[in-house]
Amino acid sequence: MMSADQPTTLHSAFICIGSNWGDRVKTVRQAISHLLRTTDSLWSSTIYETPAAGKDSDTPAYMNAVVKIRVNSDYPELNLMLKRMELEAGRNEECRNLGRVPLDLDIVEFDGEVLRPEDFRQKYYRIGRAGVAQQKD
């Protein structure tokens, strides 16, 4: 058990947020708001639209944002919280089969390590990542 005088370790994460179904802008805004309330600090790109990429290229366009957060959660705990947010937004197997993505939240970078290299290289991530990088910590 950690004593009260031990410092809390803050982790940094870059999260890609996307939605191609329903009120896409509202969904992305709500995800950013939720993360703002549950993290120690947050920097966000603007919300922007990109066409679907890769195997999903025949699905509707996405509204996207990238956020940088600082949290005291480790990777598994943070990832679990994001997957719960996706479920609460209506993401399920039926949606996956139909190419509908009410909400997609992926940790692309965690503590400086690229965890999702395919996403890291994609335009939909690079646009938002550049927007976050221009902001001061």
| Structural domains of the chain, ranges and CATH numbers in brackets | 11-133 (3.30.70.560)
Report DSSP state, residue 23.
Answer: S
Sites in the chain below the pLDDT cut of 70: 1-7, 54-57, 136-137
Confidence at residue 10, expressed as pLDDT on a 0 to 100 scale = 92
Instruction: Write down the pLDDT at residue 56.
Output: 66
Cα separation, 120 vs 97, in Å, equals 24
C-alpha to C-alpha distance for 120 and 127, rounded to whole angstroms = 10
Looking at the DSSP assignment, which residues form a beta bridge with residue 11?
71
The percent of residues in the chain predicted with pLDDT above 70, rounded, is 91
**Residue with structure tokens 């990832």?**
79
Residue 124 tokens, joined: 């939909």
**What does the alpha-carbon distance between residue 45 and residue 62 come to, in Å, rounded to a whole number?**
15
The pLDDT, as a whole number, for residue 6 is 57
Question: What's the CA gap between 102 and 106, in Å, rounded?
Answer: 14
pLDDT of the residue at 2: 47
CA 80 to chain centroid: 12
Q: Which helix (H) or strand (E) holds 35?
A: helix 24-38
